[in-house]
Each structure stands twice: as structure tokens, then as C-alpha cells.
Structure 1
Amino acid sequence: MAMALSSSSFTLVILLSTSLFLCNGFPFHHQHHNPRFASHNYREALTKSILFFEGQRSGKLPPNQRLTWRRDSGLSDGSAMRVDLVGGYYDAGDNVKFGFPMAFTTTMLSWGVIEFGGLMKDELQNAKEAIRWATDYLLKATAHPDTIYVQVGEANQDHACWERPEDMDTPRSVFKIDKNNPGSEVAAETAAALAAASLVFRRSDPTYSKLLIRRAIRVFQFADKYRGAYSNGLRKIVCPFYCSYSGYEDELLWGAAWLHKATKNPTYLNYIQVNGQTLGAAEFDNTFGWDNKHVGARILLSKAFLVQKVQSLHDYKGHADNFICSLIPGAPFSSARYTPGGLLFKMSDSNMQYVTSTSFLLLTYAKYLTSAHTIVNCGGTAVTPNRLRSIAKKQVDYLLGDNPLKMSYMVGYGPRYPQRIHHRGSSLPSIGVHPAKIQCSSGFSFMHSQSPNPNILVGAIVGGPDQNDRFPDQRPDYEQSEPATYMNAPLVGSLAYLAHSFSQL
């Protein structure tokens, strides 16, 4: 379905195409950007998109915690295995800590800072704190060689209760992978997260950065040496929640790409050259998210070719271009579906994660193409970096309220946003208001209530509308109403870019 542009927004794109989208993070274009063209306050959205992560924190909260309706939780996590696993993030609206999506969230937050952190101004420190909350936990989870603690909490038992993280009394069982029960996808993603984060802290905290990269190297060796899917050994625990449906090959390629970027060690370039095809570098899977990393690896490796002129990675430019061409409405190889209102639509469950991840890849690839003074060729159709930026901007604008319902899918942003999100802590009275424990099953009366959530999880991106732009805003509807860290993580970099483009930063 072609993306419909209203006449006013089409005029806007024409007006802006020569100046707005040239920015690419270079301050000398600053004077061209007229903030009156911006339909959204991207700076405000950026602030809120990072603030959301404070609402997902597990562990002992710091004195500067800004979402104050949350309190300490999970303070004995790991004790069942005599290991310290306090901290990290709850992935979504429940109280389980899943290592696989947490690592991907960390990688994407880090990539956003690597590409666009220089534009973030005051928010850079907040973004780094969001990353560090995750990496501190991932360091704990990988403290023992050839072992990774990949989950705290038992999802089925957790889901049988509707309770605040501060109250939870469901088992905090700990699950791990090791030589005998490997998990290459979660191990390689963890290595990617640690490697990407090492670049974030390279200047501001070199000691921490070195710790992260040393651990990333060790964890990647484990992922590659003991190959196997964690979805096999831990099937009853991780499925159907975060089963890896795409296999672990994409994570091995992705992990190697990040280690190559972070270390510049030729070992990783050689690994990519030798293993790239068998790890699926050329597959036509055009979905990028917590499970499948192929597209992200292609974009990341294309930078090494486009910008650093690593000729042996020439093919990745072609692989990346194939992904881009699949998104362009009306292009010869276009395969993407869009809602009548213009939203990229991949699937009914948490579709917004694909919107945020794809928008980030478009803006990032546009940056690389601009640096290399080149374009994408889609079967004879020339696609410029500006075209990629305008598509990404349209997706972000839809998310922020430019849609048929005039609904912002970021909680707390704009005049109208989801009121009944599928999130335990947000939907139950806070400890400050209701200090007494709310028991496991008694929480369900709040879950099924039509009342708005009492605690606003500021900045949370929910699953979003259906393929016809409809959104019922019902709490039990986790497919459309549940937020998740991996939906927010890719959006942070995109919002920084857009806020800078409109002189809001």
C-alpha cells in the first residue's frame, strides 16, 4: 500500500527537502533550519523517550530517580543461584528480566548515542545513564566465564499475577546458558551490547569502556565456540516470550560487526569475511528487531565500506540497499505494507518496535550515504538520503500524533495518548499512595478496570494501532497497549536527529 501524503505535508516535504534533511549532524547547516516547520517538539519527545527507562528499572533506585512513583524492587535477584543479579530492566509491562531483549535494547540505545549523541546536548548524560543501568547488569550476568545468566523470573508464574514490581512475590528463578546448554543468540547479542556501549563510554569513562570491551570479547568467544540456540535448552522458560525464531546466525554476524567497530581488530573483519554468507548476510529478511539482526548488521557493515572504505565489505552496501528498496513505496522491489494513515505495518503484536527500529536505520543509513556522497539505486529509481530521512520523519510524526486518530503513541506526549497501557506498575496505585501490599490476584481488578492508569509511564511507546489505524486503548490488549524497552531504544537516536534538524537542540 502506497503511503498517502496529504497535500499540505507534501508541500512541507518539498519546502524542507533542500535544507532540513541536509543536516546529518554537522553544525554548519544549522542556520538553514527554520523551527516553525516542525509539527512536533522533538526535543520534548527525546527527553521523554529516555525518561521512560527510569520507569522500567529494577533494583535499588538512585537518589536522582525522576519517575518517583517507582521504588526499589528485585533486591534479592540472583540469590537463588548465589549470584548478584540486582538491577537491569523489566522488558515491558511485567516483572521478568529477560536478558535477550535487554541486551538488544542496550545495543540500540548505544548505537543511537554513537550516531547522534553529539546532537543530544543535555540529554546525552541521561541517555548514557540509561545505557549504564543495563551494562552494569549485563556485566553481573556475564561475570563467570562461559556462563550467562539470561533471565530472572518465571514468566508464566509472573503473568498469573498482576502486581507491582515492588510487591512481587512470584519466584525469582534464575536461568543461565553455559557450555552444556549454549545460547549463541543471547550471548552474541550481549557481546554486541557490551561492545557498542564500550564506544559510548570510550572518552567519558575509559576504564569502564575497557571493562566492557574485554567482557564483550570473552562473551563473543563463548557465543561462537559453543553454538546452539537458547530457545532449545530453555524452551519452556523463554518460549513463546522471547524465543529466537530467526536462529543465532544473525546475532553472530551482528556481534562480530560490533566487535569489529569497537576494537578495529582484523580478526573480526576476517570472521565476517569468512562466515558472512553462512551467517545469512544476503538473506531477504527485512524485519529488524529484538529477534532478527541481519538488517542492522548490513547497515552497520555498510558504513565500514562507505565511510572507512573497507573494500572487502562492498557487498553489504548492496544488502543494505535491498532492505531500503523494500521500504520505498512504489519502488520496483517494494514489499513493505503501510496502514491507510501511512504507518509501516509489519505485524499486529507490538508493531511500533519495527517502526522505531526501521526509522533509526533509515536515518543512520542516510548519514552514511551522505558521508560517502552516494545514493541507493532501486531498480533504476534513485533514492537519495533526503528521501530516506523524509520517510523516517513521517513514521516518527505518525507515532507522535500525525495519524487518523490524532493519537500520540508515546505516553505523556501531546494532548491525546494511551491512558490504559498494559503495565503493572503504571496501572496499580503507587507505593506512595497505597503502601499496603496488593496481592497477586487482587491486582486483576485494576487490570480489568476502565479507569486511566494512575501513574503515567512518561515516554513509553506502546505497541500501536492495527493495520487499519485503529487503537482501542484497552489494558488487557497487550499486543497494542504494552510498552517495551526495545520499542523506545531505537527512537532515542531518531528524535535527537530530528530535534537537531529543527534547531530544537
Structure 2
Amino acid sequence: MALPYSLVLIFLLFCLSSPPPLSNAQHNPLNHRHHRLFSGQNYSDALSKSILFFEGQRSGKLPPDQRITWRGDSALSDGSTLHVDLVGGYYDAGDNVKFGFPMAFTATMLSWSAIEFGGLMQAELQNAREAIRWATDYLLKATAEPDTIHVQVGDANKDHACWERPEDMDTPRNVLKVDRNNPGSDVAAETAAALAAASLVFRRSDPTYAKLLLGRAIRVFEFADKYRGAYSNGNLKSFVCPFYCSYSGFQDELLWGAAWLHRASKNQTYLNYIQVNGQNLGADQSDTTFGWDNKHVGARILLSKAFLVQKVQSLHEYKGHADNYICSLLPGPSSQAQYTPGGLLFKMSDSNMQYVTSTAFVLLTYAKYLTSAHNVVNCGGAAVCPKSLRTLAKKQVDYLLGDNPKKMSYMVGYGGRYPLRIHHRGSSLPSVASHPAKIQCSSGFSSFNSESPNPNILVGAVVGGPDQQDQFADQRSDYQQSEPATYINAPFVGALAYLAHSFPHL
């Protein structure tokens, strides 16, 4: 329930005079002041590199202005077995498979980053748009046939049995799809979300493309909703699990997709859909993890904006749900979060940084919405101000960039010390330019097992990160800690854009 306006004013005054402290485990990060502060971290440099990373993940025919030049063309016949064009898109992480589910989430989060903070990106906004378009051009190809989405190219099990450059790839390029007979509401609704969010990014710069994206998003969402089921429960299970199983089900994606279509189209149909179906789609579930699989938190934050800023009163409950999530991160009776001794949010040992970057983005975005609405977070009757959310987000970003017990940046190529042996085939093997001869499937494992640093620097890649005790071994074989992924970087782009503007480098 929304707080009475008189209480909001009291809470705001309280916020201004006495911001809630953070726990000792978080080392009492500096409170924000109203004027711009200078930072020890170079957020502008990190922003540029976080976007550049996506060029290292490109599949397909590379453009003349490709900046990560040790990469080459790859997978130029993808889709040919089914007589469709599926060339392009992104490899999700350190392998050579194109997984549509995390790729769509990557596109959604890159788009959300540009929507909220693109005005602060300056010269990097065009690079961000290019990163988004590389994904959405592919998603348009994957959804070209009505009631069908091509959701994966490549056999993950056979791909993972090899250690080879994408330019040499000779493992099967099987094409997996969902359709009326084999539904996949999760991957379909996430794809609809990606296309709808991207349509907002291109609305002014390329209105024709934006219209195409939104029209396709509408069609894809209709398919997702009409033919319900999780894509990993049917014929695709042995191919997509355990890699990108839909553990949270498909309900969160339907709510998330509808939220994005409501924002992009302003069509009352989607608001009605959310009002009628929200509870059945898990709107009030107490999820506290936001990532490629579970979108409930993102949907709550997104729908809170419609209530806070657009004053859509029927969505007031999402403000309460969003507050509950924020309260779960902060010290106090509602806290459910774990932090390492050095202050890093810790969700799980496998690729923990994906949750750090998504949480930092959500904190900054919700703080933006609250500030616009002159509102606060209500944690059991106590007010938490937007600046407290920004403080926590900044601490997480600073830890990632090097303010941590190891004094290590977990972004490759940023800072004086960063991971040298990342779990990434293209980065760890000699480039085609330096070694033109093909490197066979099993031959690459000599590089995999080597203690030498990777010969090719995948600038901007954020790896999985340290363990619960802030330890990081920098071993190529440890994919949980050392593998980068597109969905780690995507929300980080938005967080860095905000911080680069608010905390310019010394």
C-alpha cells in the first residue's frame, strides 16, 4: 500500500537528516552528498570497456569497424540445416554456443541500461546501441517464422568437449526451436521483452527499426502466452539443461514481457493483462534473485515506475513488492542478503558477479524512480532513501573494480591487476592472425591446461568473481569464478553510466 503523502514528507526529511547506516560487514560506505563527488575509480573507462566486451562475443560476419581485432568471422552457415538464416548474435560466455534465452535477457538488460542511463553515456551511447542491435538483428531472424522461435544454435555437450576458437569451430550446429507443439513461454516472453525494450532505445534514432521491433515483440508475446510451457520441460531438455534450464518456470517471463510491452506500446491491453494475471504469474512471490532465469524482481521494479512516475494507481502493489526486495538487501529485520567479509553481495558460487551487476543496476534504477516521485523505500515502517540505495550500488561496483581484499579488478583490462587466465576459448587460444592453421578440438586443451596468461585480452569482460571469503584463484579451469558472460556485463553498462556521470574520475 502507498504511504500517505504526509508520511512521505516526514520520511524524506528524515532521509535528508539521518540516512540509515549500513552494517559493519559492509564497512560503512560513504554517504552520497548532493553535489558531485570525485571517485577513485574511473567509471568512464570501465563503461567504455564494458560495452567493448560485447564485440569479443560476436558471432557471424564481423563488420569493418570491429574493435576487438583478434576475433574473426565465425559460424557463417548457422541455420542452414533448416534453411533459415541464423548468422549473427552472441556467444553467451566462454563457449561457442548461441543460447537464445540468456541472449534475449542480455538484450533486454542492455536496452534497459540505455533507456534509463543512455543520456549519461555520451559518446558511448552509439556503441551501446550497436551492442543491442547485434542481438536484436539476430532475434528478428530467430522469430521470423510465426509461432516459432529458434532458441539455440550448437550442441552444448559436444561444444564443451572441445577447446577451440569460434573461427575454427567444427562441432555440430544443431538448431533448436520452440513452436506450438513444443512451447517455450519463458524464452519466447524474454525475447518479446528484449524486442520491446530495444524498440524504446531506437524510437528516436531509427523509428523504422523501432516499429519493426515492437511489432515483432507483440507477435512473439502472443505466442508465448497462448502456447504455455517451459522450454526446458519438453523435447529440448537434454540440450538446454543443465546449461540454461528454466528453473523458475515461465510465469516470471510472462509478467516481465507484459511489463515491457506496456512500457513500449502504452497499450491498455498489457496493463489489463498484468492486472488480471499478475498474481497467477507470481507477482507477490518473495524472490530475491534477479538474473537470466528469474525476472520477478525486474518486473516489480519496472511496474513500480508506472505507479510512481506515471501514477498508474492499479499497480500500487508493485511498489510494495519492490520495497520488499530492496529491504531484503539492506541490514535490518527484513535482510536476507549475504555479503562476503569484504562487502560483496554473495548469492551463489557459480558466476556470482551476474547477481552483483544486476542488483547494482536495479538499486540505481529504483533510486531514480523514487527520486522522480519524491518517494522512499518503506522497510517495516522505516524510511530508506534513494541515496542509500545508490551508496550500496556504488560499493558493489567499486568492489568489482578493485576496492576489495584482493585489490583486484574483476573486469579484464581495467585497473592494474585483473584476471589473466579467464575461462574463454577465443581469449585463451592464439588468434587466427598469429596462428593461421586450424587448432583441432582436442589440441586446444594444451592452452586450457597452461598456466600462461591468455594471449588475447578480452577487454571489458567481467568474470564470475571471488568466493564467499573474497578468494579468487585466477584459474582457467575454474569456470565458476573465471568465466565471463554477456548477461554479467549487460546490466553493468547502465550502472557504470550512472556512476561515470555522478562520480567523475579524479
| CA shift for structure 1 position 382 | 1.5
Q: In structure 1, what is the equivalent of residue 253 of structure 2? A: 251
| Match of residue 313, structure 2, among 311, 331, 336 | 311
Distance 2:221 2:503 in 1: 40
**Contact 1:54/1:130 (CA < 8 Å) preserved in 2?**
yes
Rounded Cα–Cα distance in structure 2 between residues aligned with 1:3 and 1:75 = 53
Aligned position for 2:133: 132
In 2: Cα distance, 1:49 partner to 1:176 partner: 31
Q: 1:33 aligns with which of 26, 33, 36?
A: 36
Q: Is the 8 A contact 2:400 2:411 kept in 1?
A: yes
CA distance in structure 1 between the aligned counterparts of 2:37 and 2:245, rounded to whole angstroms: 46
Letter in 2 for 1:4: A
SS at match of 1:338: coil
Determine the structure 2 residue equivalent to 1:458. 459
Q: Is the 1:3–1:342 Cα contact (8 Å) retained in structure 2?
A: no
Alpha-carbon contact 2:42-2:504 (below 8 Å) kept: no
1:109 to partner: Cα distance: 0.2
Q: Choose which of 7, 29, 33 in structure 2 pairs with 1:18.
A: 33
The one-letter code sitting in structure 2 at the alignment partner of 1:284 is S
How far apart, CA to CA, are the structure 2 residues paired with 1:4 and 1:278?
38
Amino acid at match of 1:478: Y
Distance (whole Å) between structure 1 residues aligned to residue 434 and residue 33 of structure 2: 52
Structure 2 letter corresponding to 1:206: P
Distance 2:26 2:185 in 1: 43
Match of 1:403 in 2: 404
How do residues 39-78 of structure 1 correspond to structure 2 at under 5 angstroms?
A: 39-78=40-79
Quote the offset at 1:501 in angstroms.
0.1
Closer, same or farther: CA 395–57 of 1 in aligned 2, 3 Å: same
Q: CA 1:117/1:439 → structure 2, altered by over 3 Å: closer, same or farther?
A: same
Q: How many residues align?
A: 484
Deviates more, 1:377-386 or 1:220-229: 377-386
CA contact (8 A) 1:189 1:251 kept: yes
Identity %, equivalent residues: 80
Name the SS of the counterpart of 1:345 in structure 2.
coil
After TM superposition, give the deviation of residue 448 of structure 1 in Å.
0.7
Secondary structure of the residue aligned to 2:85 is coil
Deviation track 1:114-173 (CA, whole Å, cap 9, x = no partner) reads 000001000000000000000000000000000000000000000010000000000001
The Cα shift of 1:504 comes to 5.4
Partner of 2:90: 89
Equivalent residue for 2:170? 169
Amino acid at match of 1:418: P
Query: For each residue in 1:33-80, what CA deviation from the matched residue of structure 2 results, as whole angstroms up to 9, or x when unmatched?
Result: 243xx0200000000000000000000000000000000000000001
| Residue correspondence of structure 1 range 411-430 to structure 2 within 5 A | 411-430=412-431
| Other-structure match for 2:81 | 80
Contact 2:58 2:90 in 1 (8 A): yes
Which whole-Å CA distance do the structure 2 matches of 1:241 and 1:116 have between them? 31
Do the aligned residues in 2 keep the contact of 1:304 with 1:313 (CA within 8 Å)?
A: yes
Rounded to whole Å, the distance in 1 between the matches of 2:184 and 2:310 is: 32
The 3 A distance-change label for structure 1 pair 277 and 5 is closer
Contact 1:152–1:173 (Cα < 8 Å) also in 2 = yes
Q: Which residue identity is paired with 2:350?
A: D
Does residue 25 of structure 2 align to residue 4 of structure 1?
A: yes
Rounded Cα–Cα distance in structure 2 between residues aligned with 1:58 and 1:261: 30
Q: Is the 8 A contact 2:186 2:231 kept in 1?
A: yes
Amino acid at match of 1:256: A
**Native 8 Å contact 1:3 1:340 kept in 2:** no
Task: Give the drift of 1:377.
Answer: 1.4
Which residue identity does 1:137 align to in structure 2? Y
Which residues in structure 2 correspond to 1:116-131 (within 5 Å)? 116-131=117-132
Look up the match of 2:18: none
TM-score (norm. length: structure 2): 0.95
Amino acid in structure 1 at the alignment position of 2:214? I
The aligned residue for residue 28 of structure 1 is: none
Matches within 5 A, 1:93-112: 93-112=94-113
* Mapped contact 2:255–2:278 kept (Cα < 8 A): yes
Structure 1 residue identity aligned to 2:194: A
Given that residues 167 and 438 in structure 1 are in contact (C-alpha distance below 8 angstroms), is that contact kept between their aligned partners in structure 2?
yes
**How far apart are 1:105 and its partner, in Å?**
0.2
Any conservation in 2 of the 1:328–1:334 contact (CA below 8 Å)? yes
Q: Which residue of 1 aligns with 2:8?
A: none
For 1:485 and 1:186, the matched residues in 2 are separated by 16
Contact 1:369 1:375 in 2 (8 A): yes
Amino acid at match of 1:383: V
Q: 2:276 maps to which residue?
A: 274
Query: In 1, distance between residues paired with 2:169 and 2:325?
Result: 43
Residue identity in the other structure for 2:327: C
* Corresponding position of 1:356: 357
- 1:409-437 CA distance string (max 9 Å, x none): 00000000000000000000000000000
Q: What corresponds to 2:345 in structure 1?
A: 344
RMSD of aligned Cα (Å): 1.1
**Residues 196 and 272 (structure 1 numbering): CA distance in 2 closer, same or farther, change over 3 Å?**
same
The yes-or-no answer on 1:294 pairing with 2:296 is: yes
In structure 2, the residue corresponding to 1:230 is in which secondary structure? Answer: coil
Q: Deviation of residue 503 (structure 1)?
A: 3.7
Q: Is the 8 A contact 1:157 1:170 kept in 2?
A: yes
The separation in 2 between residues aligned to 1:497 and 1:39, in whole angstroms, is: 15
Q: Please report how far the alpha carbon of residue 465 of structure 1 lies from its aligned counterpart in structure 2 after TM superposition.
A: 0.2
Matched AA of 1:416 = R
Q: Give the conservation status (yes or no) of the 8 Å contact 1:3–1:338.
A: no
- Offset at residue 232 of structure 1 (A): 1.2
The 1-side partners of 2:246 and 2:282 are apart by 15
* Structure 1 SS opposite 2:25: coil
SS in structure 1 of the partner of residue 166 of structure 2: coil
Q: Aligned AA for 2:288? A: N
Equivalent position amino acid for 1:47 in 2: S
Q: CA deviation at 1:5?
A: 4.6
The question of whether the paired residues in 2 share the 8 Å contact of 1:306 and 1:369 is answered with yes
2:40–2:505 contact (8 Å) kept in structure 1: no
Q: Distance in 2 between matches of 1:136 and 1:57?
A: 12
Could you tell me how far apart the structure 1 residues matched to 2:273 and 2:357 are? 30
Distance 2:304 2:381 in 1: 21
Give the match's secondary structure for 1:4: helix
- Equivalence for 2:201: 200
Q: Secondary structure at the match of 2:364?
A: helix
Q: With structure 1 as the length reference, what TM-score do the two structures score?
A: 0.95
CA contact (8 A) 2:163 2:441 kept: yes
Counterpart of 1:25 in structure 2 is none
8 Å CA contact 1:288–1:296 kept in 2: the answer is yes
Unaligned ranges ≥5, structure 2:
1-21
Summarize the Cα distance change of 1:459–1:482 in structure 2 as closer, same or farther, 3 Å threshold. Answer: same
For residue 477 of structure 1, report the CA deviation from its aligned partner: 0.4
Distance, in Å, in 2 between the alignment partners of 1:435 and 1:176 is: 34
Aligned residue for 1:251, secondary structure, equals: helix
- Kept after mapping to 1: 8 A contact 2:101/2:244: yes
- Contact conserved, 1:407 with 1:417, CA < 8 A, in 2? yes
In the alignment, the residues of structure 1 paired with residue 504 and residue 329 of structure 2 have an alpha-carbon distance, to the nearest angstrom, of 28
Deviation at 1:4, TM superposition (A): 2.9
